[in-house]
Structures are given as C-alpha cells and as structure tokens.
Amino acid sequence: MFKIVGTNGREERKRFERYFAGCCDTKHVLLMTNGAKGLSLIIRACGFGAGDEIIVPSNVGEDVISAVSKNGCVPVPVEPDSDTFNINPDKIETAITPKTKAIVVVHMFGQAVLMTKIWEISMMYGLKVFEDGTWAAGASYQGIPVGNLAHAACFSFDFGQGTGRADVITTNDDALYGKLESIADVKDCQ
C-alpha cells in the first residue's frame, strides 16, 4: 500500500491534490492511498447498484470490470475503434437499455477518447460518464484535459508490485465530491 510518509502527510496529500487538480483543470481531487478503488467508489457514490448497467470498453482489464461488478452493476461491453483502441462512440447507443446508468471511457495509450458523441449520448439518455485516465494522464480532447471530460474521473498509479498503489479521483461536481469524501474509508485517504 502506498503511504504518504512524514509528519506533514496530510499537508503533502492536500498539496498533491491541489497540484493534480491544476493538471486536470478540475475543482476537486481525492487522493486515496489504496489503489484500484477509484472507479468503484465513483459508481457507489452515484448510487448505482444491483442490476444497473454500465457501458465499458470491451478491451479493458479486469480492474474496470471488477469496479463495475463489485457494486452489483452489470458491465456491458462495447467494441473499440480499430484505429485508436478507445471505445467506439458510434457503437455505444446500440448497447443502451432502460437499465443503463453510465458510460465508462478508458483513454488508451495516451489518446483521449473522442468525447463529443459520448457527451451527446449522455445528455440524450440522461447517463453519467466516467473516465479512467490512467493511460493518458496529460492528454486532452479539444483543449480539455483528461480528468475533466466527464462527471468524474479516476487515475490509478501502480508503482510496481509490492511497492505501492494509489488512486486519484477528479470531479467538478461539489455534491459528488462531498459524497465521495463521506464514503471513502479513512484509511484510504491518509
């Protein structure tokens, strides 16, 4: 487990959160010192659960599928674009059912997902959009940084097996941030 060490651990955490918020141009950042929890916590904070469907790229690892399933939600895979390996926005709408609550985009290989159509679909169907920016921190779409392209985003920092992990959640939604803070385990945020 990754730990912020030293007598000023909380101050260092807050300083990192402010720095990362600046990188993503977001209002709120929550650093968790226990990795692989960000997306799961976002889904839980939004109140999604048993039987709710969440659209995910079909070419993602088990961490995304696990985050969705852990909350009792059903991951609904959508094929990627063959040029970018990001989720194909043109295939999302056919996967939507009355049980669909959200779309997860995973920015692959330093490339931001083409978000315009995803935003349109989100608004048309009243869906939340969540980002996993782990593989594209620092990338942007139409001048907007990854981490600020959806209702909330997560980044996972895995520094190698046995040496520590951390997750960061970003959002501009004050209410969602308050909910995230209230349900995050204290030990995850120290």
Q: How far apart are CA 186 and CA 131, in angstroms?
A: 24
User: What would the mean pLDDT of 39-62 be, rounded to a whole number?
Assistant: 94
Task: Render 103-128 in DSSP notation, one character per residue.
Answer: EEEE--TT-----HHHHHHHHHHT-E
pTM of the model: 0.88
User: What pLDDT is stored for residue 33 in this prediction?
Assistant: 67
pLDDT at 13 over 80: yes
137-182 confidence digits (pLDDT tens): 899 999 999 999 999 999 987 644 444 567 899 999 999 999 999 9
pLDDT the model gives residue 166:
72
Q: Which domains does the chain have, with CATH numbers?
A: 9-189 (3.40.640.10)
